[in-house]
């Protein structure tokens, strides 16, 4: 007959309390003790950033890109007249297109250009029983071989409905 083994109890080790110097004052102070220095609530975010040595962020806002008509609509809808001026700026279009192409390619695995060219010239093409898959695979290889700039992802146009 096999007797089940009973695990030994491990007693926690207790250490002696540390010796606290008489001139010690805890940080943060205990409840009820007076707070020394400026409190975080009395400082504005810019002031806290200056204390920490942070560089201020560039001062662009949404209103920099709004037209005066759009600002007037927002002002009328919110009932506020103290909104920043609408500067009617336009963002860099070229950077926007490049960023869109980069985002479209981020989820697509890449292969070396030489490998893609060799696969296109190799003769064997997988997915022989599925022409749609074979077409997508060939488009992928052409994109990786830098023979085509056609994106592999369908872009759904954004429809804006005026309110």
User: Is the CB of residue 130 less than 8 Å from the CB of residue 137?
Assistant: no
Tally Cβ neighbours within 10 Å of residue 152.
Answer: 14
**DSSP characters for 19-78?**
PPPTT---SSPPTTSPPPS--TTTS-HHHHHHHHTPPPPP---GGGSS-HHHHHHHHHHH
Domain spans, the chain: 107-144
pLDDT the model gives residue 94 = 45
Q: How far apart are CA 66 and CA 89, in angstroms?
A: 7
Cβ neighbours around 66 below 10 Å, total:
20
Give 63-80 as a 3 state SS string.
Answer: HHCCCHHHHHHHHHHHCC
The mean pLDDT values, 10 residues at a time, for the chain of 163 residues are 69 86 76 61 82 82 86 91 85 56 64 88 84 88 80 60 65
Q: How high is the pLDDT of residue 76? A: 92
**CA of 13: how far to CAs of 10, 16, 31, in Å?**
9, 10, 31
Look at residue 79 in the predicted model and tell me its pLDDT: 92
- Residue 46 near residue 56 (C-beta atoms within 8 A): yes
């Amino acid at each position: 007959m096999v007797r089940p083994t009973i695990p030994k109890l491990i007693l926690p080790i207790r250490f002696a309390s540390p010796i606290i110097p008489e001139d010690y004052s805890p940080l943060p102070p205990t409840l009820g003790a007076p707070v020394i220095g400026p409190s975080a609530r009395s400082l504005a975010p810019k002031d806290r950033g200056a204390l920490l040595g942070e560089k201020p962020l560039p001062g662009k806002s949404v209103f920099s890109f709004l037209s005066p008509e759009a600002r007037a609509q927002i002002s009328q809808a919110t009932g506020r007249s103290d909104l920043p001026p609408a500067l009617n700026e336009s963002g860099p279009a070229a950077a926007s297109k490049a960023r869109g192409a980069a985002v479209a390619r981020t989820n697509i695995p890449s292969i070396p250009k030489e490998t893609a060219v060799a696969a296109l010239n190799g003769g064997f093409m997988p997915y022989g029983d599925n022409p749609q898959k074979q077409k997508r695979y060939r488009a992928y290889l052409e994109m990786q071989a830098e023979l085509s700039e056609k994106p592999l992802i369908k872009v759904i146009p954004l429809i804006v409905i005026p309110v």
